[in-house]
Structure formats: structure tokens, C-alpha cells
Amino acid sequence: MGTGSSPASTSTGEKKKGEDRVLSHGDVVLIRSDLAILRGPRFINDRLIAFYFAHLSADLGDDLLLLPPSIPYLLSNLPDPASVAAVAEPLRLASRRLVLLPVNDNPDASVPEGGSHWTLLVLDNATGGASGPRFVHHDSIRGAPNLPVATRLADALRPLLQQSDSGRRAAVPVVEGPTPRQPNGYDCGVYVMAVARAICGWWKNGHGHRGGDWFEAVGREVNADSVTVMRAELLQLINTLIQDKAKAKASST
């Protein structure tokens, strides 16, 4: 899905051999090369998405759940529904209003740096009303090339969400959400983070409790310019956290 200088990562966020850790944030460890990814025209990896999703989650409460990329990737590659149910049970997906799941197209789980495209799948238990839950897929490339991958994840999760109605199971559809298009081959991961930020802002402003959906907010807030700025903003956020932790460590010694 592009010609950037590195593929979209689907590793579990482990530190590469020989790389210096620069920041531990919750369960996410960032390394020095992650900062270089933000500076240049390069694909975003799973560590950066996991870090930013953890940052967004800090004041959201339990209604919204933002999962790091490793969890959706695991769920979509487990061998059977029982395994999916066992992993997903602590996540309480059916009781959340929205669940944001990054999707990567890595076809081989044994290749930690595989994959070339990121998209966002949203489990929407909030806006469907009487029609019930749905999955909304946001793909920043025309033609939604990641839709089959997102559909496989939705298929894995659907049995956990379906409600019995007169002995019949209601379908939980997958729909394409309107998504601004990336103008290059490497910013898909930043679009995932930008769309997630727009959805979280829409929810925090109370719109999620008044009906409607977040599509207008995504269209208004996500574009090529805001994505370029977001790389710099994310780099600044990380550097600020690094400095804050250094000051806290110095003051405690």
C-alpha cells in the first residue's frame, strides 16, 4: 500500500535488539527508532499506535475502549471461536459503547514486521438504536483494500455480540465509514490515530449521548494537513513525557 521506507509493524511492541528504550508509558515501551519514524515519511508501527491509544484512553472512562494493535491482530488469527471468546472475555466488548480496533493486513503472524496498511474498525454499540450494534470500517485508501481483513476480525467477534431474537440471531453488519483519503503511501497509521482522536473528541463532547454518529467530526478534523501536523504533535508529546519522567526521577534522588 505504499512506498515508505519501512512496513507497517504488527509486532507486539517488544524492544528491538540493541535499541535504546526512551519511554515506558503504561504497557507500551517506545524505542529510539520510533521517534525517527515520526520525523520522516515512514510507516507508523504498532508501538506508536498503542502509545497514542493509551494516551487517548486516559480520561475516557469505561464506555470507550481503545485496543492496542496486538489484540485485534491476535483475535483475528486465533484458530477457533472458543479461543476468541477466552481472549475477548476480559474486554467486555458487548458492554462497551464504542471499541476502536486497529487493523493491519499482515498475512503471516510469524513475520513481526509484516503488513503494509493500517485501518480502523469501530465496534459501534452506541449509535444504532433499535437496529443494534454494527462495525464501522475507516480506510484512508480509495477502494477500502483492508475491508476483507477488517471483515475477518468482525467475523471473529460477531458471535460475542449477537443477541437472540425469537430463536434467530441478528446480524451485526460491517459498513464503510466515510474517511478522508491519504495522499501518499505511508500515512495510513497516522490516519488511524487521527480518526481515533476525532471519534474520542466527538464522544467526550457529548455527541455520542445525543444520537447521530461521528462521521461529520472525522470529515471536519482529519485531512492531509492535520495528519502532517499530528506527526509533529505526537513527537512533541513523547519528548515532553520523556522530559517529565527525567525530572521526576531526578527530584526523587
- 185-214 tens-digit pLDDT: 999 999 999 999 999 999 998 876 666 899
Cα 244 from Cα 222, distance rounded (Å): 29
- 153-176 tens-digit pLDDT: 999 999 998 654 443 446 899 999
CB 4 within 8 A of CB 186: yes
pTM: 0.90
Domain borders along the chain are: 21-247
Average pLDDT over all residues of the chain:
88
- Alpha helices (H) along the chain: 32-39, 46-56, 70-77, 81-88, 147-157, 188-204, 215-221, 224-251
Is 135 or 128 the better-scoring residue by pLDDT? 135
Q: What does each C-alpha distance from 40 to 5, 49, 240, 248 come to in angstroms?
A: 9, 16, 19, 30
Q: Does pLDDT of 115 surpass 60?
A: yes
21-247 has which CATH code?
3.40.395.10
